[in-house]
Amino acid sequence: MTATPDTQNSAIQSPRAADDAMELPASTVPLTELPIVQVHVYVDLVCPWCYIGKRRLDDAIRQFEDEGGTVEVSYLPFQLDPDAPDEPRDLMPTLEVKFGGAEKAAAAMTHICQIAATEDLEYDFDGAIAVNTMRAHRLLFAAGKQGPDVQAALVDALMDAHLCRGQDISDTDVLTELAKAAGLMLDVPAYLDGGANEDVVRQLEDEARQAGVSSVPTYVFAGRWGVSGAQEADTLVTVMRQVALNLGDVQPSGGGGCCGGGCGCG
């Protein structure tokens, strides 16, 4: 079941600086004896920084678990453009309007593609389709009910489909195929056509905004500490250690991320 942070009563605390996060006091307590670190990741499934961020988070988790720590991750919805039209359309013309011309849009996307390539991701913005992500987020919520492994697999599948393979992740047939590949046991067409959990997704997004989430990816550790942007894996490992050791506020400097202003999200 997808867990949600307690966002109704308190705002998410923000970080101080990456240098502060690196200064860890000595501890003789092995990570194997410390609590599980829960991480809630707010994403939009068309955000190129979110896919980069997931790759880095996966790397950080592997490092942390190699040290003996334990992490539980759930993915939560945060639509950058909840009012995006339902009708799919080519992405690049939308980006050209946002960036003020084809040349500026192409330069920005080239920059993001170069960063993505360092994480073994091959983005194709020329073939990408701009869509409303509500249906995909509803499906991701259902995957979270089945378990974190299925949900994580579906995140990868959805982002790969949109950013790398030019698929329409609002289309029922596409979503059915991706859900099956991720191991989601669900009658996807019936679920999507019935409108299930749309109100839940909107409520989660509203609670996130009330708590101070304004961009993606945003990582919330232990329901309390918020870290925004596609942080490097080493930074995320440091945060995990701090949270596990209950050292207090953690605030690395911001990495790349999207706040609805033309970063390739459409």
- Encode pLDDT of 122-154 as tens digits: 999 999 999 999 999 999 999 999 999 999 999
d(CA 134, CA 79): 8
The CB density around residue 244, as the number of other CB atoms within 10 Å, is: 24
What's the pTM?
0.85
pLDDT at res. 34:
79
pLDDT at res. 246:
72
How large is the C-alpha radius of gyration of the chain? 18
- Encode pLDDT of 166-219 as tens digits: 999 999 999 999 999 999 999 999 999 999 999 999 999 999 999 999 999 999
Domain boundaries, the chain: 18-244
- Tell me the torsion sign for CA atoms 24, 28, 32, 33: negative
- Encode pLDDT of 28-83 as tens digits: 457 777 789 999 999 999 999 999 999 999 999 999 999 999 999 999 999 999 99
pLDDT at res. 248:
41
The residues, ordered by sequence, that sit 6+ positions from 123 with a Cβ below 8 Å of its Cβ are 48, 109, 112, 113, 116, 163, 164, 264
- Encode pLDDT of 222-265 as tens digits: 998 899 999 999 999 999 998 988 744 444 545 666 665 446 66
Task: Answer whether residue 13 shows pLDDT above 60.
Answer: no
d(CA 79, CA 258): 10
Topology (CATH level 3) of domain 18-244: Glutaredoxin (3.40.30)
pLDDT at res. 256:
64
Beta pairing class for 129-130 and 218-221:
unpaired
